[in-house]
Amino acid sequence: MIGTRVAKKYATALFDLARKGGREQAVWEELSALHTALSKDRRLLDLLVAPQIPDGDKVRLVKAVLQSAAQDIVRNFVLFLLDKRRIDHLMEIIGLYRHLLDASMGIVEAKITSAVPLSEPEVRAIIARLERISQKKVRHDLQVDPKILGGVVVILGGEIIDHSVRHDLSRLRDQLRSITVHQAA
């Protein structure tokens, strides 16, 4: 919980700084590339977090890795996190920055899970409905999970919309269990 608050504070500060310069999208592109690189090879982040590595070595490493960064703001931010000993929050900060950028652009994220792969017309229809509900542009991630049996489960900006067969059967089971049967006298 404290980690999330810390990450949110830093992500908000970075986003505000980028917005002042009108560089929100450019900063996001570099953060996204950094996130991808760190996700592919966690050793770099492990080195930056490791207490046994001298701070000077960490600074040189960041400057070498991010030397071609078009936005000095990203390199300076990572160096700032190192200095404040908050580098362990970097990945979470990047994710939160993405949410702040999306919110500023009127975009909401949706995770759509279906029992079978959806056709393109089905996806378009679901997205159109979600955009009407949220009154925002929807960025979506499709997943298939046969365990839901049928229908779809959508997580839209943190809210769960469950129209799966599994959920309906579970509700029906609960309703049937709550019925009291009286014997005829």
What is the structure's pLDDT at 164? 78
- Mean pLDDT across 14-26: 92
User: How are beta strands 159-164 and 151-156 bridged, if at all?
Assistant: antiparallel
Whole-angstrom distance, CA of residue 23 vs CA of residue 36: 20
Whole-angstrom distance, CA of residue 83 vs CA of residue 78: 9
Contact 27, 73 (CB under 8 A): yes
Task: Kindly state the tokens that stand for 5.
Answer: 């608050």
Is the pLDDT at 185 greater than 70? The verdict is no
Whole-angstrom distance, CA of residue 122 vs CA of residue 14: 38
Whether the pTM exceeds 0.85: the reply is no
Whole-angstrom distance, CA of residue 73 vs CA of residue 70: 9
Whole-angstrom distance, CA of residue 58 vs CA of residue 68: 17
- Mean pLDDT across 144-171: 84
Nearest residue to 90 (alpha-carbon basis) of 102, 76, 77, 104: 77
Residue 81 vs residues 24, 32, 100, 185: alpha-carbon distances, Å: 19, 17, 19, 76
Is the pLDDT at 69 greater than 70? The verdict is no
Phi, psi of 139 (to 5 degrees): -100, 130
- Mean pLDDT across 161-169: 79
- Mean pLDDT across 150-166: 84
- Mean pLDDT across 59-85: 84
- At 109-136, the pLDDT tens digits run 999 999 999 999 999 999 999 999 899 9
